Chain A
Amino acid sequence: MSDASWKSSQSCIELRGLTVAYGSTIALKRLDLIFYDGVTGLFGPNGAGKSTLLRALSGLLRPSGGSALLFGEEIRSSSESIRRRIGYVGHESGLYARLSVIENLSLFANLYGVTSVRVDEVVDQLDMGEWRSMQVAALSAGLKRRAAVARALLHEPDVLLLDEPYANLDDDASEQVSASILAWRSPGRVAVIATHGAKRVKAFADAGIIIQRGNVISYRRRTPTGYEVAT
């Protein structure tokens, strides 16, 4: 699954003292990090702050302090042009339960100005053809996950933020999700994947971050010879 020719080097996301607090509970503590292009795995136990970090990176969560810059522009105050560059999958599918898979994807395709050819492409990539006319409410948890990833990839974003994309997926479906992420990956694009299934992401990740209780415990980047500590 790993691609030896890949070399990530371009800084895409920069966190400067990013802090997120829910009332008196601090979820992320003054994070200073640079995400380079390629795939970064985000690992850590429950409650470590993985989902909070992804929401802050997407701009859906307002930081309590510090800032997050996406390609040099502050995410929170960003315009439609920055939003267009983000693909995000949270804990839920982010789809309309009463619309079919294809209706959902067509709706978002139209909102992003994406052609129907691209819709068919992501449906094929994630092997959703058989369920394309089925309402999302009737899909299994695993199929909803795949449809959610399809929605996030639809507009070919430069930043892909995936929260537990392998949840409820069997091995074949997990392979399809990994393959579609690899097909999307190209220089200048960054994916951050939060997961408990470290093994699956480690197979092709260019970097890995372990966070615990809102602090970064370890940040390593892949090199031709192994891994090096990153800043």
Chain B
Amino acid sequence: MAERGFVSKTTLLIRKDLLVETRARDTLPPMLAFCLTVALLLAFSLPGSAVLSDAVDLPVGSIALADVIAGFLWITILFAGLIGFARTFEIERTEGALDALLLVPLDRSGLFVAKALSNLAYIVVVQLVLVPVFALFFSLDLGMDWFVLVGVIALVDVGFVAIGTLFASLAAQTRSRELILPVLALPALVPIFIAAVELTSDLFMGGGLEAVAARGWFGVLLGFDLVFATVGALAFEFAID
């Protein structure tokens, strides 16, 4: 049998992760439970008759309700992601499969890509549930701008899973990995999530693609995606070893 190539081996590892998750169900259900709880609590805490452009008074000033909802949407995704990322190498730890995996003739960047894409799958499922729930609870009607929001989400997700997977591999070597991961990852994730909140808030306010593109946050996201996807693939070998 001819040896498989990089893409084929990476695909095998992703399929393995997803198969194990369909059987064990220890990553997605906690992520989804967290998201739905936050969305429900938020629905009860915000005024029911408000519209997105209404001002919300805070001790530091007033902001539009759209900003608050965009902020909560991304904070929920951020923490749900961290719950999932912390479990990135759990299936390898149970029976010591990480050793066997590290001895497989596959470039370490292949392992990184496989783990990052598995994490991406979990995040996408979470977003497929969470975004419609937010749309329903807070009467979000973006019309054609939904496609722009999907583009924003896609750009955020690339950097998010690259950073999350890289730091999950570092945290996996420690005993208190669930605590270490946020400490390591959050500083690197802050710029991406600021960009995400700014772009989403503009879309919720009806800014449309032109207004959103003019503010330069797309460039920030693209830059972070490129840097962290590259750094992740290159640094993963040192992190996992």
Chain A residues within CB distance 8 Å of chain B: 58-60, 62, 80-81, 83-84, 86, 88, 90-99, 103, 107-108, 110-115, 135-137, 144, 151
Contact = CB atoms under 8 A, between A and B. Distances in A.
Contact of A111 (B20, B23, B104, B107): B104
Given A96-B16, A113-B2, A80 B95 contact: no
A84 B106 CA distance: 9
B1 A115 contact: yes
B237 to A, nearest CB: 12
Given A111-B12, A114-B1, A144-B95, A96 B104 contact: no
Interface residues of B, number: 27
A96 B12 contact: no
Contacts of A59: 103
Interface in B103-132: 103-107
14 contacts: A80-B107, A84-B105, A92-B96, A94-B99, A96-B16, A96-B20, A96-B91, A96-B94, A96-B97, A99-B16, A99-B20, A110-B4, A110-B9, A137-B94
B180 to A, nearest CB: 19
Interface in B23-64: 23-24
Interface in B171-206: none
A60 B95 contact: no
A94 B97 contact: yes
Contacts of A81: 105
Given A83-B104, A91-B96, A112 B91 contact: no
Nearest to B92: A96
B41 to A, nearest CB: 33
Contacts of A95: 95, 97, 100
Given A88-B100, A96-B16, A98-B24, 12 more contacts: A60-B103, A80-B105, A83-B105, A92-B95, A93-B95, A94-B97, A94-B99, A95-B100, A97-B94, A99-B20, A111-B105, A112-B105
A165 to B, nearest CB: 14
B12 A110 contact: yes
B58 to A, nearest CB: 47
B226 interface: no
B19 A99 contact: yes
A91 B96 CA distance: 8
A25 B19 CA distance: 41
Interface in B80-105: 91-92, 94-97, 99-100, 102-105
A113 B1 contact: yes
A108 B1 CA distance: 13
Contacts of B104: 83, 108, 111-112
A175 B13 CA distance: 34
Contacts of A144: 95
A60 B105 contact: no
A86 B102 CA distance: 11
B210 interface: no
A45 to B, nearest CB: 23
A200 B4 CA distance: 38
A94 B100 CA distance: 5
A98 B241 contact: no
